[in-house]
């Protein structure tokens, strides 16, 4: 089981109740995310996975779906190790 993906899914499930969010749903295009959420997501990911999101990670492709965020976490965790 992909632990990182399950944690991100659980985070969004709590946030977007009654919404069937698939792993590849574009959360920005769907209008779910406001500016507070974007920053909260960064802080949640950094604290939960003990990684740092850097300047070069600022790309919608890294944040726009559960799959994308999971991929970013894994890349950052590998850099940290």
Q: Distances from the Cα of 21 to the Cαs of 8, 16, 33, 50, in angstroms?
A: 11, 8, 13, 25
How big is the chain, counted in residues? 81
Euclidean distance between CA atoms 48 and 20, whole angstroms: 23
**Contact by Cβ (8 Å): 46, 52:** yes
Q: Which is nearer to other proteins, 44 or 67 (CB)?
A: 44
Q: Does 14 bind other proteins (CB under 8 A)?
A: yes
Spell out, one character per residue from 22 to 61, where the chain touches other proteins: x when CB under 8 A holds, - when not: -------------xxxxxx-xxx-xx-------x--xxx-
Q: Does 1 bind other proteins (CB under 8 A)?
A: no
Where do contacts with other proteins occur on this chain (CB under 8 A)? 11, 14-15, 17, 35-40, 42-44, 46-47, 55, 58-60
């Amino acid at each position: 089981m992909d632990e990182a993906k399950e944690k991100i899914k659980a985070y969004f499930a709590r946030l977007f109740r009654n919404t069937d969010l698939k792993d590849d749903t574009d959360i920005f295009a769907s209008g779910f995310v406001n500016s507070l959420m974007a920053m909260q997501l960064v802080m949640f990911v950094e604290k939960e996975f003990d990684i740092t999101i850097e300047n070069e990670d600022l790309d919608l492709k890294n944040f726009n779906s559960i799959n994308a965020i999971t991929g970013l976490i894994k890349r950052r965790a590998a850099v940290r190790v």
